[in-house]
Chains A and B, each alone.
Chain A
């Protein structure tokens, strides 16, 4: 793989459900070791976009490229086999099962022979704890502990560590910080950085601009199913991004209105910022 080929790329992807167009002309690319932050308010089409990337939905038009080659996923499993791992808000973990069992769900290590294969608990626990610790969660030392006893951030970290261990190359994180407190969110953001360092292409979906800015290299703002802004780190301020997400207007209208606002409000952002702090 050459350095310039994005690990995953969308070209003019449209997705419609019957007469309803959900995504229009989405073009995105993410390279290895890069974090793309996908920002958007509720209903902007983030979920549909994730599901399209994860192989749940096939795009109506346009193409998806993995390592520069067009692909069409037959289902989520197919996407996973090509190294695209999706981690949902609650990490896809099972609260009443142990860390080791969660980590190896569906790909359990076994020992024994013939039809009497036994789940190798010791091995599963050892690997799970090692992998999670490598991700910087040193608190987890006992693979027998139930996942329900972990914090939300730790559960996310476990799910991410799992994806990395099983060879994910593209990590799609669906609002991993949405339900978390400040410390927990920081936790997850650190894991995202860790994944990035290991050369994964990360697509980080969020509506928390702070979190996006902490890890993102590249940002795309999704409004009503279209990409309203696409920019790199440092090109826009936090306020600008928040406005973009909340606006729901076309890019040009938004920019004009932001400028207008800034002028009349002594450089302060429009009311969205006040809502957010309320």
Chain B
């Protein structure tokens, strides 16, 4: 028994200096991005991986995953998942298309309606998760299929088709929501291309990332989100409205999914009800590669952005190399595994000095 009580403090030791290095797993995500970028720059040089036009391929791809990955990252930091985004993307496209085409709404009113529909679905997700305590994976799996079914049903009932056309919606809205943008300085041989053929979604992604950075790292809400995933019970005791916060996060991820659907719809002048199952995994991969812990409680916006860029480069970059295209899945698998192992070691390092109390 603890009969002798030594009054001296447990003194610090060398491991704390090491801890400082691991304080920011976004640094790991950044290192991964640099390695992947250099790798594909070398092997994709011949096929113009680094030219503005080449870069736009993977940046455009990354932007769409990225818009979704950021709020999904918030949810994962808060200890939840949302896979219903796979159905929210087509929902965003077809609600917008039907609002404009079948109901004759102004494009911006239609955007508001689409966001409202998405927010409602997110709200249902959030309420179901917080009220029932059923894991969010299952709840959102259910809503994934429910929404996918509703997409097809309402499409056929209202428009009589699953493929909606969305003709030009005006110059301004097209410019903001879905168009290709280039910025070329000078003329003739001396012109410098800053960027070329970047979709509107790329710029939307930047805006979303800045907003998310503010929320997670600068505003007090970021504290709350991390506390949700760190220890929900304590967060509630500290007076944080845990349920409401979670519902808002589900609403944000659903709205992000719909936003991507809208940008795609406006860009392609059409929208389809096809559920995008791939995006579910893509967004989760980006978040994990970006250093968000699967167990929740920690993550960064910069990390998620780095993770998304890395993912975009690997996914699209393979086309710029002489490697077989089928290998990109293998690349992504290895990348994901490496990221998960790194994140896990970060978590262990960060809580190593706590005299083993965490295990209990």
Contacts and interface: CB of A to CB of B under 8 A. Distances in A.
A binds B: yes
Interface of A: 76-77, 80, 86, 88-90, 92-97, 101, 104-108, 110, 116-119, 137-139, 144-146, 148-153, 155, 179-187, 189-190, 208, 210-211, 214, 276-277
A94 B297 contact: yes
A152 B357 contact: yes
Contacts of B227: 94, 97, 105-106
Nearest to B359: A179
Interface of B: 1-12, 16, 19, 23, 214, 218-220, 222-224, 226-227, 230-231, 233-240, 293, 297-298, 347, 350-355, 357-358, 360
Contact of A183 (B9, B224, B226, B352): B9
B1 A149 contact: no
Contacts of B220: 108, 110, 117, 119
B353 A96 contact: no
Nearest to A159: B234
B269 to A, nearest CB: 36
* Those 4 A-B pairs whose CB atoms lie nearest each other, nearest first: A94-B230, A148-B351, A108-B220, A92-B234
Contacts of B231: 92-94
Most buried by B among A108, A116, A190, A211: A108
Contact of A210 (B3, B230, B240): B3
A106 B19 contact: no
A95 to B, nearest CB: 5
24 contacts: A76-B236, A76-B237, A92-B237, A94-B230, A95-B230, A95-B354, A96-B226, A96-B298, A97-B230, A105-B224, A105-B235, A107-B239, A108-B223, A116-B214, A118-B219, A139-B9, A145-B19, A146-B23, A149-B16, A152-B355, A180-B355, A183-B6, A185-B2, A187-B9
B143 to A, nearest CB: 29
A182 B4 contact: yes
Contacts of A76: 236-237
Given A180-B355, A184-B355, A93 B234 contact: yes
Contacts of A101: 223, 226
A56 to B, nearest CB: 9
B224 A151 contact: no
Nearest to A182: B2
Contacts of B11: 139
Contact of B354 (A92, A94, A155): A155
Contacts of B19: 145-146, 149
A149 B353 contact: yes
Contact of A277 (B1, B214, B233, B347): B1
A96 B240 contact: no
Contacts of A96: 226, 230, 293, 297-298, 347, 350-351
A208 B352 CA distance: 26
B10 A153 contact: yes
A183 B353 contact: no
Contacts, number: 148
Given A105-B235, A119-B218, A119-B219, A152 B3 contact: no
Given A86-B237, A118-B219, A146-B23, 12 more contacts: A88-B234, A94-B226, A96-B226, A96-B298, A97-B223, A104-B223, A105-B234, A119-B223, A146-B351, A151-B354, A182-B2, A214-B5
A27 B316 CA distance: 70
Nearest to A186: B5
B239 A77 contact: yes
B169 to A, nearest CB: 30
A151 B223 contact: no
Given A97-B223, A148-B350, A182-B4, A105 B360 contact: no
A171 to B, nearest CB: 14
A245 to B, nearest CB: 14
Nearest to A144: B23
B240 A105 contact: yes
Contacts of A187: 9-10
B238 A106 contact: yes
Nearest to B4: A182
Contacts of B226: 94, 96-97, 101
Nearest to A138: B9
B4 A105 contact: no
Nearest to A100: B223
Contact of A149 (B235, B240, B352): B352
A138 B12 CA distance: 11
Contacts of B353: 148-151
Nearest to A109: B220
A242 to B, nearest CB: 10
Contacts of B351: 95-96, 146, 148-149
A97 to B, nearest CB: 6
A277 B12 CA distance: 31
Contacts of A181: 355
A139 to B, nearest CB: 6
Contact of A150 (B8, B222, B224, B354): B354
Contacts of B233: 92
